[in-house]
Chain A
Amino acid sequence: MRRRPETRIGRRFAALGDEGRAGLVAFVTAGDPDPETSRRILRGLPAAGADLIELGMPFSDPMADGPAIQASSQRALKAGMTLTGVLSLVRDFRTDDDATPIILMGYYNPIYVYGVDRFLADAKAAGVDGFIVVDLPPEEEADFCLPCLDAGLNFIYLATPTTDEARLPRVVENASGFLYYVSIAGITGTGSATADAVAAAVSRLRARTDLPIGVGFGIKTPDQAAAIARVADAAVVGSALVALAAGDDPVNAVLGRTRDLAAGVRGARR
């Protein structure tokens, strides 16, 4: 039986639908470049125009990520970030914002080591809405996706250019929150798909699911974000934001770029 926990994610997409526009999903790595700066970036994202937040749980071996997110994870780990620290950042964020959805994104091992049940309870209490765990395909759903649904949180599945028609029903079966379309066969922060290819893929996905569709990988500029916003329900930007966390004045740099991207998304005609 299909279960779709209701969280801030569904409410936010419903509100965006009422506004007649797509959303901006901003990805930043928790603890990058250090816990305090990361806290300020996180708290500033909604006002800068992020409609949903993906918060990266740093991992030592981010196999699906390109150089920008690899470096970002390394900075965060070096500055002492842990999974417990990630949840502290979420709790802090929730003292002022009870509406913006927070999705934790990362790899399974730190969660497995923390303990799935304890992690789900702690994440829910902290105010997390859902998860993207890159190395948990539907074949391994018993590990974390199903317990996640039992806990009333969303597990967001990835569909990719290699996900064929035969496989797509399995991918969407226990998906909730939204479906994340990875627009290129590759790692984060590298190539970009053409708008036409994304439009074709999104319509293929819409035939299989009524979940909102977010599109990510390779979206760097406000124009690219706008192009995605015309065909999908959300544009996800990660590498282009985290690359700015390494430079001078990371808070203003990340939030400034978020404002530019949000303007692109909000200005896009559907």
Chain B
Amino acid sequence: MPSFMLLLYNDPANWQNMSPEDAQKALQKFMDWGSKLHSSGAHLASHKLADDAGKVMRGHGKVRVTDGPYSETKEVLGGYYLIKAANYNEAAERARDCPALEYGGTIEVRQVDPMMDDAA
């Protein structure tokens, strides 16, 4: 079955003024969503990315490494899920009730190139 990346972008400012109770409620929603993903067998991997600027590397011949702009942009790539789905529709359907959206985030859905599966 094809795999898809769900790339979760969020604006950290949205989380700043949460009370402990609100934070726990939000977390509960994420856990409920996540456990649905797991029990359906669609979950392959997920990671949170560090909250730092990251590094950007570029160059021909001479490689330059600079600090990434990521900590200054409003929306940052917070983390990703790798999931199994039959097609884009199904992948988007799984992402639809991800609480990140409810809290003002954006989810980018990208299919892992099917040729990767053929190679495996």
Chain A complexes with chain B: no
